Structure 1
């Protein structure tokens, strides 16, 4: 059985309220959507149970160059494919999906929540930043209302424990091709079912994840593509170069000009006073009562307590400088804080490679569903 190119779940709205939602998943590396069957199945079922009115689309795509079937038309360049081209490929798949759904809704703009795992979170932020920089009249028929980053590798991958270990190897000339050829030689004559058994014996992988890994190792280009992409990640993903607009940091006058729920000058003066006191007090404000700019994509980050692909210092610095200090419980101290990303550290021992264990995949799906509920409730 070949590796899958995509996963797509659809449920028509059941109630009188006519609306749609596209949840688009971006994989980590290896870029195989097959790893995420349990997570996406559980996410779809949970969202369906919570909201019967919305027409729901939950889908994800494998990355280019990983020998999926049917083979995607990734780029004009020969394999392997780098990070920038992967982002372009995923963007194309996203826009194509949104256009198809929009046509079914007479050209209406479709709300989209992006979900990214690992390096998929980096691509997610890149897609949102590009979308925000595009004039409204030139955008495709979609509104990027939310982005959920799972175990994100968005800054300084080379400083992570694994990054420090593998970077010297990947910098050697021809190393990715050499490792690829060695793996191909070792496993060329080994049947898939034997490789699957060996992988299960050596890891905690579920049967489905072990089969996907066996097919990945047996694929013609997959290992080289994965290594090449990892090398490009280490080179590309360094300091935080995202624009302030992505993180919800804008001049105060831009915020106040877009407030929609404050109806009189007294409320405006009250909100201004709260902002002035925010450095010395933490008076709570319910975020739903604030006029969050509609052009701002709500961001959520879910970090592992101990992630071999993310240095603890890198994670903590990003939380301190970019995260919402009031947390994600619906109350913050100011409008500025309400516009910043929610960042949460896992407390359940879920690892970076969560999709290979069904229990972890279901737990992550529950967290994603919770945050999607917060995003859609604010629309």
Structure 2
């Protein structure tokens, strides 16, 4: 194994791409302001979710337009770190004083998402206003990151010590095709874990993959992805940008291998799944804290691990969890072709969370 010292690259927060769809009612002080924060999967480009977020915006506009509705929903999402060359410096692998920079780990992504949720809470509305409620939407590993954000928020609140979470009101999580336990046992996870466990591939897979991609011109890649793989415009453009970036492939593989060893046995406390006494009044009219949406068959989630996770949630008497198994054959990568269908479902869950 390569034991050379490494260090993480520095993050350029102002260069991390984001998408934002604010509510037209955000200045209405009579409405409860709700931030819906979208966390992507791996590869972590928020551009994959543009049709999903746009459709959800349109659907929530319809909800807000009804006179009896007293909510305003602000939709926001950012890239995960390392998937754009401009969001970090120096380039991965660059050596300084004998120490090489490496891509960001899953823990790095969790910490950054925690900071960004806190930052969006105090900056997105402007002035001194903060959001009355925050709903996290996580896809794939973004669902695991979402649960870790809830976990850290929960522990900070339980310790009753001053922290950046003090004015952050996390209300609920919507977890789409979630990879939240034993990901290495899935069919795709087994392949990626084999790369992680093979010393040569562990060190070189990203170089091999990048070398292969570099054999293709930008135009040829775009043609293959759009015409032969059938990707629509938004997904084709995001994929070409990801593949042709200097560090994107390395970041995706590095983070994916880290997922294989990190996302294993469930480690969250039972009370995280519950609505706490301090939240009870604000939770009136809302029966669910977490919505899980699983595929019938998912190459990133082993059936037995999914079923075991679901059974644990069902046996938890105080848990506020709703679990749905897809019946429409929507694939794990829903954001390629099925954004509108999933946005319709999410709209209903957001309404349930808001008690509408």
What is the TM-score of this pair, normalised by structure 1? 0.78
Q: Does structure 1 retain, via aligned residues, the 8 Å contact 2:85–2:246?
A: no
Sort the Cα spacing of 1:289 and 1:11 in 2 relative to 1 into closer, same or farther, 3 A.
closer
Counterpart for residue 93 of structure 2: none
- 1:140-190: per-residue Cα shift (whole Å, max 9, x none)? 422000101000000000111111233112222252552222233233353
Counterpart for residue 109 of structure 2: 86
User: RMSD of the TM alignment (CA)?
Assistant: 3.1
Counterpart for residue 117 of structure 1: 139
- 1:26-55: per-residue Cα shift (whole Å, max 9, x none)? 010001111111111111111111113533
Q: Does structure 2 retain, via aligned residues, the 8 Å contact 1:8–1:60?
A: yes
Q: How far apart, CA to CA, are the structure 2 residues paired with 1:230 and 1:51?
A: 39
Q: How far apart, CA to CA, are the structure 2 residues paired with 1:319 and 1:371?
A: 18
Counterpart for residue 154 of structure 1: 180
Counterpart for residue 240 of structure 1: 266
**Are positions 1:45 and 2:52 aligned together?**
no
Larger Rg: 1
> How much has 1:70 moved relative to structure 2?
5.2
Sort the Cα spacing of 1:366 and 1:165 in 2 relative to 1 into closer, same or farther, 3 A.
same
- 1:195-225: per-residue Cα shift (whole Å, max 9, x none)? 0111234423212212211221111011011
- 1:83-120: per-residue Cα shift (whole Å, max 9, x none)? 1111011111111111114653x445531000000000
**Are positions 1:28 and 2:41 aligned together?**
yes
Counterpart for residue 57 of structure 1: 74
Q: How far apart, CA to CA, are the structure 2 residues paired with 1:124 and 1:374?
A: 19
Q: Does structure 1 retain, via aligned residues, the 8 Å contact 2:178–2:292?
A: yes
Q: Does structure 2 retain, via aligned residues, the 8 Å contact 1:5–1:71?
A: no
What is the TM-score of this pair, normalised by structure 2? 0.82
**Are positions 1:228 and 2:254 aligned together?**
yes
Counterpart for residue 308 of structure 1: 299
Q: Does structure 1 retain, via aligned residues, the 8 Å contact 2:122–2:130?
A: no
Q: How far apart, CA to CA, are the structure 2 residues paired with 1:222 and 1:174?
A: 20
Q: How far apart, CA to CA, are the structure 1 residues paired with 2:112 and 2:280?
A: 36
Q: How far apart, CA to CA, are the structure 2 residues paired with 1:213 and 1:111?
A: 33
- Provide structure 1 residue ranges, at least 5 long, that are not aligned to the other structure: 262-286, 326-335
Q: Does structure 2 retain, via aligned residues, the 8 Å contact 1:324–1:343?
A: no
The 5-angstrom pairing of residues 174-323 of structure 1 reads 174-188=200-214, 190-248=216-274, 298-323=289-314
Counterpart for residue 347 of structure 2: 369
> How much has 1:231 moved relative to structure 2?
0.4
Q: How far apart, CA to CA, are the structure 2 residues paired with 1:197 and 1:66?
A: 22
- Choose from 183, 186, 190 the match for 1:164: 190
Counterpart for residue 332 of structure 2: 352
Could you say what secondary structure the match of 1:63 adopts? coil
Q: How far apart, CA to CA, are the structure 2 residues paired with 1:341 and 1:33?
A: 26
> How much has 1:192 moved relative to structure 2?
2.2
Could you say what secondary structure the match of 1:134 adopts? helix
Q: How far apart, CA to CA, are the structure 1 residues paired with 2:251 and 2:125?
A: 33
